[in-house]
């Protein structure tokens, strides 16, 4: 019996991983809470909690390629909206991605019936609206912290990649700032202690935190639904 073609799905945060696991009915690989596996038709599917930021994304993708030799890699998760027409929960499918400050452009492969049309800028920290102004003017659609790096690792390995991102916030609204990073551990899990400390410092932040969580869950569900649809389409041939 030959090897099953493999699709690896990388999600930066646990809030992004959970809906992917549910949508594709994946199961834990052993006792791991970071690695889930399953089958969709003739495809083997591996979903991973990759961690937040370029360094974590690069390490996760490199290890996934070494371990699973995927035939296609998918990035699934949330992103900030740069295009003025985007709303919370809208879907952005990467056509290309660029790491902020790096001239290299990595180009995504089509997957499923979705049309790729979004240009994603990847950063290593949360940038201000002013710092993103040139990227917005250049026509970038969304901003995240992983896509371009994962795309580069895949291109270097000769593996096609795709990215499905749901919009969780929009530029200019001031919902996300430097303090947001305190709420997420480097491995992509929620930093509950940091959230409690923030509420103790500023009880009025409760409404903003609730909004961030609500919008992030909506965006993550959008990305997971599109990812699952694309994987099933690929499995159907």
In a domain, 150, yes or no: yes
Looking at residue 237, what is its pLDDT? 74
Using CA atoms, how far residue 81 sits from 121, 167, 178, 225, in Å, is 11, 6, 17, 19
List, for residues 167-224, the tens digit of each pLDDT value. 998 876 655 555 555 555 665 566 555 555 655 676 665 666 667 788 899 999 999 9
Question: Does 210 reside within a domain?
Answer: no
CATH of the domain at 85: 3.40.50.1580
Structurally, the chain folds into a number of domains equal to 1
What global pTM score does this model have?
0.87
Nearest Cα neighbor of 21 from 231, 181, 177, 163 is 231
Collapsing DSSP to helix, strand or coil, 105 comes out as: strand
| 180 is a domain residue | no
CB-based contacts of 98, cutoff 8 Å, min separation 6: 104, 105, 106, 119, 120, 121, 122, 140, 148
**pLDDT over 70 percentage in the chain:** 83
Model confidence pLDDT, tens digit, residues 11-51: 999 999 999 999 999 999 988 889 999 999 999 999 999 99
201 lies in a domain?
no
Distance CA 148, CA 57 (A): 9
Q: What is the mean pLDDT of residues 64-72?
A: 97
Q: What pLDDT sits at residue 114?
A: 76
Range of the domain at 230: 6-173+216-235
> Do 145 and 58 touch, CB atoms closer than 8 A?
no
The predicted structure's pLDDT at residue 204: 65
In this predicted structure, what is the pLDDT of residue 131? 83
**Dihedral angle at the C-alpha atoms of 23, 29, 35, 41, nearest 10 degrees?**
-40
**Taking a C-beta distance cutoff of 8 angstroms, is the pair 136, 82 a contact?**
yes
pLDDT of amino acid 98: 96
pLDDT at 206: 62
Whether residue 106 is contained in a domain is answered as yes
């Amino acid at each position: 019996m030959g090897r099953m073609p493999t699709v690896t799905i990388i999600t930066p945060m646990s809030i992004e991983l959970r809906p992917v696991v549910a949508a594709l009915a994946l199961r834990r690989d052993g006792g791991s809470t970071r690695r889930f596996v399953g089958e969709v038709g003739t495809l083997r599917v591996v979903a991973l909690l990759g961690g937040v930021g370029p360094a974590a994304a690069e390490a996760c993708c490199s290890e996934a390629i070494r371990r699973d030799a995927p035939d296609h890699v998918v990035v699934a998760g949330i992103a900030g909206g740069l295009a003025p027409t985007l709303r919370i929960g809208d879907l952005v499918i990467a056509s290309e991605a660029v790491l902020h400050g790096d001239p290299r452009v990595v180009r995504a492969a089509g997957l499923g019936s979705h049309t790729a049309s979004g240009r994603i800028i990847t950063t290593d920290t949360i940038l201000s609206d002013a710092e993103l102004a040139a990227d917005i003017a250049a026509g970038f659609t969304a901003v995240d912290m992983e896509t371009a790096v994962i795309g580069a690792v895949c291109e270097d390995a000769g593996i096609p990649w795709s990215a499905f991102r749901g919009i969780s916030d929009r530029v200019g609204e001031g919902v996300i700032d430097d303090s947001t990073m305190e709420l997420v551990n480097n491995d992509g899990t929620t930093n509950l202690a940091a959230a409690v400390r923030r509420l103790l410092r500023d009880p009025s932040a409760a409404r903003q935190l609730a909004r961030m969580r609500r919008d992030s869950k909506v965006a993550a569900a959008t990305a997971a639904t599109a990812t699952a649809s694309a994987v099933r389409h690929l499995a159907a041939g």
